[in-house]
Chain A
Amino acid sequence: MQTIYILWLRQLKRYFRSKARIIGSLGQPILFFFSLGFGMNPIYQKAGGGNYIQFLAPGIIAMGIIFTALFSGIEIIWDRQFGFLKETLVAPTSRLKIMIGRTLGGATVASFQGIMVLALSFLLGFRFQNVLLLPVALIFIFLIALLFTGIGTAIASILKDMQGFQLIMNFLVMPLFFLSGALFPLEGLPKTLSIIASLNPLSYGVDGLRGSLINSAHFGMSTDLIILSILTGLILVLGAYLFSKIEV
Chain B
Amino acid sequence: MIEVSNLTKKFNGFTAVDDISFTVGKGEIFAFLGPNGAGKTTTIKILTTLLRPTSGKIILNGKDVTKDKYQVRCSFGIVFQDPSLDDELTAYENMEFHGVIYHVPKKIRRERIEQLLKFVELWDRKDDLVKKFSGGMKRRLEVARGLIHHPKILFLDEPTLGLDPQTRNHIWNYIKDLNKQEGMTIFFTTHYMEEAEKAAQKVAVIDHGKIVARGTPSELKQQTNTASLEDAFLALTGTTIREEESNHIDHMRAHRRFMR
Contacts and interface: CB of A to CB of B under 8 A. Distances in A.
B252 A18 contact: no
Contacts of A93: 73, 101-103
A18 B49 contact: no
A1 B49 CA distance: 23
A169 interface: no
Given A81-B252, A88-B101, A89-B50, A17 B84 contact: no
Interface in A63-110: 78-79, 81-84, 86-94, 98
- Of the candidates A6, A86, A90, A91, the one having the most CB atoms from chain B within 10 angstroms of its own CB is A90
Contact of A248 (B50, B74, B87, B252): B50
Contacts of B82: 83
The bracket for how many chain B residues form the interface is: 20 to 34
A84 B84 contact: yes
Contacts of B45: 248
B48, B88, B98, B255: residue with the most chain A Cβ atoms closer than 10 Å: B88
Contacts of A162: 252, 255
B249 to A, nearest CB: 6
Contacts of A94: 70
B11 to A, nearest CB: 11
Interface residues of A, number: 29
B85 A84 contact: yes
A87 to B, nearest CB: 5
B1 interface: no
B248 interface: yes
Nearest to A248: B50
Interface in B112-155: 129
A90 B49 contact: yes
A89 to B, nearest CB: 6
Nearest to A247: B51
A196 to B, nearest CB: 32
Nearest to B99: A6
Nearest to A78: B256
B162 interface: no
Given A84-B84, A247-B50, A90 B73 contact: yes
For the complex of A and B, the 9 pairs showing the least CB-CB separation, nearest first, are A83-B84, A92-B74, A91-B101, A92-B73, A81-B252, A6-B100, A87-B84, A248-B50, A14-B88
Interface of B: 45, 48-52, 70, 73-74, 76, 78, 80, 82-89, 93, 96-98, 100-103, 129, 248-249, 252, 255-256
16 contacts: A2-B100, A17-B88, A82-B83, A82-B87, A82-B249, A83-B82, A83-B85, A86-B80, A86-B84, A89-B49, A91-B102, A92-B102, A94-B70, A161-B252, A162-B255, A247-B50
